Structure 1
Protein backbone atom coordinates (compact mmCIF):
# COMPACT_ATOMS: atom_id res chain seq x y z
CA UNK A 1 0.00 0.00 0.00
CA UNK A 2 1.50 3.33 -1.01
CA UNK A 3 1.74 6.41 1.17
CA UNK A 4 2.40 10.05 0.29
CA UNK A 5 5.61 10.76 2.25
CA UNK A 6 7.98 13.66 2.79
CA UNK A 7 10.85 14.56 5.12
CA UNK A 8 10.60 17.89 6.92
CA UNK A 9 11.88 20.09 9.70
CA UNK A 10 9.11 21.10 12.08
CA UNK A 11 9.00 24.63 13.49
CA UNK A 12 9.18 25.23 17.24
CA UNK A 13 6.12 26.98 18.67
CA UNK A 14 7.95 30.27 19.29
CA UNK A 15 9.16 30.41 15.67
CA UNK A 16 5.65 29.67 14.36
CA UNK A 17 4.06 32.29 16.63
CA UNK A 18 6.61 34.93 15.63
CA UNK A 19 5.72 34.41 11.95
CA UNK A 20 1.97 34.35 12.70
CA UNK A 21 2.36 37.77 14.34
CA UNK A 22 4.40 39.09 11.40
CA UNK A 23 1.70 37.96 8.94
CA UNK A 24 -1.27 39.13 11.03
CA UNK A 25 -1.68 42.55 9.36
CA UNK A 26 -1.15 41.07 5.88
CA UNK A 27 -3.76 38.44 6.63
CA UNK A 28 -6.21 41.10 7.85
CA UNK A 29 -5.79 43.25 4.69
CA UNK A 30 -5.81 40.34 2.23
CA UNK A 31 -9.45 40.70 1.04
CA UNK A 32 -9.56 36.98 0.16
CA UNK A 33 -7.00 37.16 -2.63
CA UNK A 34 -4.79 34.62 -0.85
CA UNK A 35 -5.41 31.29 0.85
CA UNK A 36 -3.15 31.25 3.89
CA UNK A 37 -1.72 27.88 4.84
CA UNK A 38 -2.46 26.40 8.26
CA UNK A 39 0.31 27.45 10.70
CA UNK A 40 0.00 24.06 12.42
CA UNK A 41 1.19 22.49 9.15
CA UNK A 42 4.15 24.82 8.56
CA UNK A 43 7.43 23.00 7.99
CA UNK A 44 10.58 23.13 5.90
CA UNK A 45 10.46 20.30 3.38
CA UNK A 46 13.79 18.50 3.04
CA UNK A 47 12.61 15.89 0.51
CA UNK A 48 9.28 14.96 -1.07
CA UNK A 49 8.95 11.26 -1.85
CA UNK A 50 5.40 11.38 -3.19
CA UNK A 51 3.23 8.30 -3.45
CA UNK A 52 5.55 5.45 -2.55
CA UNK A 53 5.31 1.87 -1.37
CA UNK A 54 8.80 2.15 0.10
CA UNK A 55 9.08 1.00 3.71
CA UNK A 56 9.22 4.09 5.98
CA UNK A 57 12.02 2.47 8.01
CA UNK A 58 14.20 2.48 4.86
CA UNK A 59 13.52 6.19 4.34
CA UNK A 60 14.31 6.90 8.00
CA UNK A 61 17.63 5.08 7.59
CA UNK A 62 18.28 7.15 4.46
CA UNK A 63 17.60 10.35 6.44
CA UNK A 64 19.90 9.22 9.25
CA UNK A 65 22.70 8.60 6.75
CA UNK A 66 22.26 12.16 5.38
CA UNK A 67 22.60 13.73 8.83
CA UNK A 68 24.94 16.69 9.14
CA UNK A 69 24.39 17.08 12.89
CA UNK A 70 22.29 19.80 14.53
CA UNK A 71 22.11 23.13 12.73
CA UNK A 72 21.05 26.64 13.64
CA UNK A 73 18.30 28.10 11.42
CA UNK A 74 15.98 31.08 11.24
CA UNK A 75 13.14 32.06 8.94
CA UNK A 76 14.32 35.01 6.86
CA UNK A 77 13.18 36.94 3.82
CA UNK A 78 10.39 36.10 1.39
CA UNK A 79 9.67 35.28 -2.21
CA UNK A 80 7.09 34.06 -4.66
CA UNK A 81 7.02 31.03 -6.95
CA UNK A 82 5.32 31.54 -10.32
CA UNK A 83 3.36 34.49 -8.99
CA UNK A 84 1.10 32.11 -7.08
CA UNK A 85 2.85 31.06 -3.84
CA UNK A 86 4.12 33.37 -1.11
CA UNK A 87 7.01 31.82 0.80
CA UNK A 88 9.30 32.69 3.68
CA UNK A 89 12.97 31.80 3.24
CA UNK A 90 15.43 30.14 5.56
CA UNK A 91 18.63 31.65 6.95
CA UNK A 92 21.33 30.54 9.35
CA UNK A 93 23.45 27.48 8.64
CA UNK A 94 22.17 27.22 5.07
CA UNK A 95 25.26 25.49 3.64
CA UNK A 96 24.75 22.53 6.00
CA UNK A 97 21.00 22.61 5.38
CA UNK A 98 21.53 22.46 1.60
CA UNK A 99 23.95 19.54 1.98
CA UNK A 100 21.53 17.74 4.28
CA UNK A 101 18.59 18.32 1.93
CA UNK A 102 20.65 17.02 -1.02
CA UNK A 103 21.32 13.85 0.98
CA UNK A 104 17.63 13.40 1.81
CA UNK A 105 16.37 13.14 -1.76
CA UNK A 106 16.40 9.87 -3.66
CA UNK A 107 16.98 11.46 -7.09
CA UNK A 108 20.18 13.55 -7.37
CA UNK A 109 18.54 15.70 -10.07
CA UNK A 110 15.93 16.79 -7.53
CA UNK A 111 18.67 18.13 -5.25
CA UNK A 112 19.58 20.71 -7.90
CA UNK A 113 16.06 22.19 -7.77
CA UNK A 114 15.70 22.38 -3.99
CA UNK A 115 15.31 25.67 -2.16
CA UNK A 116 14.62 25.78 1.57
CA UNK A 117 11.38 27.67 2.12
CA UNK A 118 8.06 27.71 3.91
CA UNK A 119 4.85 28.33 1.90
CA UNK A 120 2.59 30.70 3.86
CA UNK A 121 -0.05 31.55 1.24
CA UNK A 122 -1.31 30.64 -2.22
CA UNK A 123 -3.01 33.06 -4.57
CA UNK A 124 -6.52 32.43 -5.78
CA UNK A 125 -6.65 31.95 -9.54
CA UNK A 126 -7.37 35.59 -10.27
CA UNK A 127 -5.77 38.21 -8.12
CA UNK A 128 -7.75 41.44 -7.93
CA UNK A 129 -4.39 43.14 -7.38
CA UNK A 130 -1.79 41.64 -9.75
CA UNK A 131 0.98 43.42 -7.81
CA UNK A 132 -0.04 41.87 -4.49
CA UNK A 133 2.53 39.06 -4.29
CA UNK A 134 5.35 41.34 -5.43
CA UNK A 135 4.38 43.93 -2.82
CA UNK A 136 4.14 41.30 -0.07
CA UNK A 137 7.45 39.74 -1.05
CA UNK A 138 9.07 43.17 -0.90
CA UNK A 139 7.48 43.97 2.49
CA UNK A 140 8.53 40.61 3.96
CA UNK A 141 12.04 40.67 2.49
CA UNK A 142 13.33 42.14 5.78
CA UNK A 143 11.59 39.54 7.96
CA UNK A 144 13.86 37.72 10.44
CA UNK A 145 12.47 35.20 12.87
CA UNK A 146 14.06 33.81 15.99
CA UNK A 147 16.98 31.41 15.64
CA UNK A 148 16.52 27.79 16.71
CA UNK A 149 18.62 24.64 16.72
CA UNK A 150 17.33 21.85 14.51
CA UNK A 151 18.19 18.52 16.08
CA UNK A 152 15.75 16.20 14.29
CA UNK A 153 13.96 15.71 11.01
CA UNK A 154 10.61 14.01 10.67
CA UNK A 155 9.19 11.65 8.09
CA UNK A 156 5.55 12.58 7.50
CA UNK A 157 2.61 11.09 5.67
CA UNK A 158 0.36 13.57 3.89
CA UNK A 159 -3.40 12.95 3.93
CA UNK A 160 -4.79 15.30 1.30
CA UNK A 161 -8.13 16.95 2.06
CA UNK A 162 -8.28 15.68 5.65
CA UNK A 163 -7.02 18.79 7.44
CA UNK A 164 -8.66 22.03 8.47
CA UNK A 165 -10.68 23.75 5.74
CA UNK A 166 -10.05 20.84 3.38
CA UNK A 167 -6.28 21.21 3.48
CA UNK A 168 -3.81 18.40 4.09
CA UNK A 169 -3.30 16.64 7.40
CA UNK A 170 0.25 15.58 8.20
CA UNK A 171 0.98 12.54 10.32
CA UNK A 172 4.44 12.00 11.81
CA UNK A 173 5.66 8.52 10.81
CA UNK A 174 9.06 8.71 12.51
CA UNK A 175 11.93 11.02 13.46
CA UNK A 176 15.68 10.94 13.05
CA UNK A 177 18.12 12.77 15.34
CA UNK A 178 20.62 14.87 13.45
Structure 2
Protein backbone atom coordinates (compact mmCIF):
# COMPACT_ATOMS: atom_id res chain seq x y z
CA UNK A 1 0.00 0.00 0.00
CA UNK A 2 1.03 3.59 -0.67
CA UNK A 3 0.77 5.25 2.72
CA UNK A 4 1.01 8.71 4.22
CA UNK A 5 0.21 10.37 7.53
CA UNK A 6 -2.15 13.34 7.51
CA UNK A 7 -3.82 15.98 9.60
CA UNK A 8 -7.34 16.48 8.30
CA UNK A 9 -8.94 19.79 9.31
CA UNK A 10 -12.52 19.59 10.63
CA UNK A 11 -15.49 20.33 8.41
CA UNK A 12 -16.02 23.94 9.55
CA UNK A 13 -12.39 24.78 8.76
CA UNK A 14 -12.62 23.27 5.27
CA UNK A 15 -15.96 24.98 4.62
CA UNK A 16 -14.44 28.35 5.55
CA UNK A 17 -11.56 27.71 3.15
CA UNK A 18 -13.92 26.61 0.36
CA UNK A 19 -15.90 29.83 0.61
CA UNK A 20 -12.71 31.86 0.25
CA UNK A 21 -11.52 29.79 -2.72
CA UNK A 22 -14.92 30.05 -4.41
CA UNK A 23 -14.65 33.82 -4.26
CA UNK A 24 -11.20 33.75 -5.81
CA UNK A 25 -12.22 31.22 -8.49
CA UNK A 26 -15.11 33.46 -9.56
CA UNK A 27 -12.61 36.22 -10.38
CA UNK A 28 -10.40 34.05 -12.62
CA UNK A 29 -11.08 34.11 -16.38
CA UNK A 30 -12.35 30.81 -17.82
CA UNK A 31 -12.69 31.65 -21.53
CA UNK A 32 -15.78 29.45 -21.67
CA UNK A 33 -13.91 26.42 -20.36
CA UNK A 34 -13.47 24.79 -16.98
CA UNK A 35 -10.97 27.40 -15.86
CA UNK A 36 -7.20 27.50 -15.46
CA UNK A 37 -7.09 25.69 -12.10
CA UNK A 38 -7.97 22.08 -11.38
CA UNK A 39 -9.19 22.25 -7.78
CA UNK A 40 -8.57 19.40 -5.37
CA UNK A 41 -11.66 17.59 -4.13
CA UNK A 42 -12.66 19.08 -0.74
CA UNK A 43 -12.77 15.61 0.85
CA UNK A 44 -9.13 15.10 -0.16
CA UNK A 45 -7.77 18.25 1.44
CA UNK A 46 -5.31 17.56 4.23
CA UNK A 47 -1.96 18.57 5.66
CA UNK A 48 0.61 15.87 4.98
CA UNK A 49 2.74 15.03 8.00
CA UNK A 50 4.83 12.31 6.34
CA UNK A 51 4.77 10.26 3.15
CA UNK A 52 5.91 6.66 3.59
CA UNK A 53 5.63 5.30 0.05
CA UNK A 54 4.83 1.70 -0.82
CA UNK A 55 4.69 -0.64 2.17
CA UNK A 56 3.78 -4.29 2.58
CA UNK A 57 0.89 -5.29 4.84
CA UNK A 58 3.34 -6.43 7.52
CA UNK A 59 5.31 -3.18 7.42
CA UNK A 60 2.03 -1.22 7.52
CA UNK A 61 1.03 -3.00 10.73
CA UNK A 62 4.44 -2.24 12.26
CA UNK A 63 4.09 1.40 11.25
CA UNK A 64 0.66 1.68 12.87
CA UNK A 65 2.01 0.29 16.15
CA UNK A 66 5.01 2.64 16.04
CA UNK A 67 2.74 5.61 15.40
CA UNK A 68 0.56 4.75 18.38
CA UNK A 69 3.64 4.70 20.63
CA UNK A 70 5.19 7.91 19.29
CA UNK A 71 2.01 10.00 19.13
CA UNK A 72 1.19 9.11 22.74
CA UNK A 73 4.00 11.47 23.72
CA UNK A 74 3.09 14.34 21.38
CA UNK A 75 0.73 16.94 22.82
CA UNK A 76 -2.22 18.21 20.74
CA UNK A 77 -1.46 21.39 18.78
CA UNK A 78 -3.59 24.39 17.78
CA UNK A 79 -3.37 25.23 14.07
CA UNK A 80 -5.07 27.41 11.48
CA UNK A 81 -4.87 27.82 7.72
CA UNK A 82 -3.42 31.11 6.51
CA UNK A 83 -1.80 32.68 3.46
CA UNK A 84 -1.05 30.88 0.21
CA UNK A 85 1.77 29.95 -2.12
CA UNK A 86 2.67 27.99 -5.23
CA UNK A 87 5.27 25.31 -5.90
CA UNK A 88 6.88 25.27 -9.36
CA UNK A 89 4.30 27.77 -10.71
CA UNK A 90 1.72 24.99 -10.70
CA UNK A 91 0.81 23.48 -7.32
CA UNK A 92 -1.31 25.82 -5.23
CA UNK A 93 -1.33 25.57 -1.47
CA UNK A 94 -2.66 27.29 1.63
CA UNK A 95 -0.23 27.61 4.51
CA UNK A 96 -0.47 26.41 8.09
CA UNK A 97 -0.10 28.74 11.06
CA UNK A 98 -0.46 28.51 14.81
CA UNK A 99 1.69 26.20 16.92
CA UNK A 100 4.27 25.39 14.28
CA UNK A 101 6.73 24.14 16.89
CA UNK A 102 4.12 21.59 17.92
CA UNK A 103 3.47 20.74 14.27
CA UNK A 104 7.13 20.02 13.73
CA UNK A 105 6.98 17.80 16.81
CA UNK A 106 4.30 15.78 15.00
CA UNK A 107 6.50 15.60 11.91
CA UNK A 108 9.50 14.40 13.95
CA UNK A 109 7.38 11.72 15.65
CA UNK A 110 6.07 10.58 12.26
CA UNK A 111 9.61 10.28 10.97
CA UNK A 112 10.75 8.23 13.96
CA UNK A 113 7.75 5.94 13.51
CA UNK A 114 8.60 5.35 9.87
CA UNK A 115 12.24 4.65 10.59
CA UNK A 116 11.41 2.12 13.31
CA UNK A 117 9.02 0.35 10.90
CA UNK A 118 11.57 0.30 8.09
CA UNK A 119 9.96 3.09 6.07
CA UNK A 120 11.95 6.30 5.82
CA UNK A 121 9.31 9.00 5.24
CA UNK A 122 9.73 11.75 2.67
CA UNK A 123 9.75 15.00 4.65
CA UNK A 124 11.76 17.46 2.56
CA UNK A 125 8.74 19.66 1.76
CA UNK A 126 7.28 19.33 5.24
CA UNK A 127 9.49 22.13 6.55
CA UNK A 128 6.65 24.28 5.25
CA UNK A 129 3.41 22.57 6.33
CA UNK A 130 0.66 23.24 3.82
CA UNK A 131 -2.63 22.07 2.36
CA UNK A 132 -2.78 21.65 -1.43
CA UNK A 133 -5.90 23.24 -2.95
CA UNK A 134 -5.36 22.84 -6.68
CA UNK A 135 -3.05 22.75 -9.67
CA UNK A 136 -2.78 24.94 -12.70
CA UNK A 137 -4.15 22.93 -15.62
CA UNK A 138 -1.67 21.93 -18.28
CA UNK A 139 -2.19 24.08 -21.34
CA UNK A 140 -4.14 26.63 -19.32
CA UNK A 141 -2.94 29.25 -21.74
CA UNK A 142 -4.97 27.50 -24.45
CA UNK A 143 -8.32 27.78 -22.66
CA UNK A 144 -9.32 30.45 -25.14
CA UNK A 145 -9.09 27.99 -28.02
CA UNK A 146 -12.14 26.51 -29.67
CA UNK A 147 -12.92 24.12 -32.48
CA UNK A 148 -10.97 21.13 -33.72
CA UNK A 149 -8.40 23.26 -35.50
CA UNK A 150 -7.51 25.04 -32.27
CA UNK A 151 -8.04 28.59 -33.50
CA UNK A 152 -8.28 31.26 -30.81
CA UNK A 153 -11.80 32.46 -30.10
CA UNK A 154 -11.91 36.10 -31.11
CA UNK A 155 -12.01 38.30 -28.05
CA UNK A 156 -11.84 35.39 -25.57
CA UNK A 157 -9.54 36.07 -22.59
CA UNK A 158 -6.67 33.70 -21.91
CA UNK A 159 -5.87 32.84 -18.31
CA UNK A 160 -2.18 32.74 -19.14
CA UNK A 161 0.57 31.62 -16.75
CA UNK A 162 -0.47 34.11 -14.05
CA UNK A 163 -3.47 32.14 -12.71
CA UNK A 164 -1.45 30.70 -9.83
CA UNK A 165 0.07 34.04 -8.95
CA UNK A 166 -3.36 35.70 -9.04
CA UNK A 167 -4.75 33.19 -6.58
CA UNK A 168 -1.75 33.52 -4.27
CA UNK A 169 -2.11 37.30 -4.25
CA UNK A 170 -5.84 37.06 -3.52
CA UNK A 171 -5.32 34.58 -0.67
CA UNK A 172 -2.24 36.20 0.84
CA UNK A 173 -4.20 37.68 3.76
CA UNK A 174 -6.47 34.69 4.28
CA UNK A 175 -6.72 33.28 7.78
CA UNK A 176 -9.16 30.56 8.74
CA UNK A 177 -10.53 29.47 12.11
CA UNK A 178 -8.24 27.73 14.58
CA UNK A 179 -8.71 24.10 15.56
CA UNK A 180 -6.96 21.62 17.86
CA UNK A 181 -5.17 18.69 16.26
CA UNK A 182 -5.62 15.83 18.69
CA UNK A 183 -5.19 12.99 16.21
CA UNK A 184 -3.47 12.14 12.95
CA UNK A 185 -4.64 9.68 10.32
CA UNK A 186 -2.73 6.96 8.53
CA UNK A 187 -4.09 6.89 4.98
CA UNK A 188 -3.61 5.00 1.75
CA UNK A 189 -3.36 6.66 -1.65
CA UNK A 190 -4.47 5.23 -5.00
CA UNK A 191 -3.48 7.61 -7.83
CA UNK A 192 -6.16 8.03 -10.48
CA UNK A 193 -8.83 6.07 -8.59
CA UNK A 194 -10.70 9.05 -7.17
CA UNK A 195 -13.18 11.61 -8.46
CA UNK A 196 -12.41 13.05 -11.92
CA UNK A 197 -9.30 10.89 -12.17
CA UNK A 198 -7.74 12.29 -9.03
CA UNK A 199 -6.26 10.23 -6.18
CA UNK A 200 -8.41 8.16 -3.86
CA UNK A 201 -7.47 8.60 -0.21
CA UNK A 202 -8.70 5.98 2.25
CA UNK A 203 -8.38 6.43 6.05
CA UNK A 204 -6.85 3.32 7.62
CA UNK A 205 -6.32 4.29 11.25
CA UNK A 206 -6.79 7.34 13.44
CA UNK A 207 -3.97 7.80 15.94
CA UNK A 208 -4.73 9.89 19.04
CA UNK A 209 -2.10 12.38 20.19
CA UNK A 210 -0.98 13.19 23.70
CA UNK A 211 -2.32 10.38 25.84
CA UNK A 212 1.02 10.07 27.55
CA UNK A 213 2.18 13.68 27.14
CA UNK A 214 2.84 15.82 30.20
CA UNK A 215 0.30 18.73 30.33
TM-score, scaled to structure 2: 0.76
- 2:107 is paired with a residue whose SS is helix
Distance apart, 1:69 and its partner CA: 1.4
Count of matched residue pairs: 176
Q: 1:37 aligned to 2:40?
A: yes
Q: State the 4+ residue runs in structure 1 displaced beyond 3 angstroms.
A: 106-113
d(CA) in 2 for partners of 1:143 and 1:65? Answer: 36
* Change beyond 3 A, Cα 1:43–1:20: same
1:145 aligns with 2:176: yes
RMSD: 1.8
Shift of 1:63: 2.3
* Pairing 1:78-89 to 2, within 5 Å after superposition: 78-89=84-95
SS in structure 2 opposite 1:130? helix
The answer on 1:69 being equivalent to 2:85 is no
The yes-or-no answer on 1:55 pairing with 2:68 is no
Query: What is the DSSP-based 3-state SS (H/G/I as helix, E as strand, rest coil) of the residue aligned with 2:176?
Result: coil
Segment drifting more, 92-101 vs 61-70 = 61-70
DSSP 3-state at the match of 2:64 = helix
Tell me if structure 1 keeps the 8 A contact 2:3–2:51.
yes
Contact map agreement 2:136 2:163 (CA 8 A) in 1? no
> What is the CA distance between 1:112 and its match in structure 2?
4.7
Question: 1:58 offset after TM fit, Å?
Answer: 1.6
Q: Which runs of 5+ in 1 are unaligned?
A: none
Aligned to 2:129: 116
Contact (CA 8 Å) 1:60, 1:175: kept in 2 or not?
A: no
Taking structure 1 as the reference length, what is the TM-score of the superposition? Answer: 0.91
> Structure 1 residues 57, 164: closer, same or farther in 2, change over 3 A?
same
Cα deviation 1:66-86 (Å, max 9, x = unaligned): 432111010011000000111
Q: 2:191 matched to which residue of 1?
A: 160
Give the Cα–Cα distance (whole angstroms) in 1 for the partners of residues 176 and 96 of structure 2: 9
Structure 1 counterpart SS, 2:52: strand
* Structure 2: tracts of 5 or more residues without a match: 142-159, 210-215
- Bigger share in strand: 1
Determine which structure has more spread, i.e. the larger CA radius of gyration: 2
**What do residues 128-158 of structure 1 show as CA deviations (whole Å, max 9, x unaligned)?**
3222212211211111000001110000011
Match for residue 17 of structure 2?
19
The CA deviation at 1:50 is 1.3
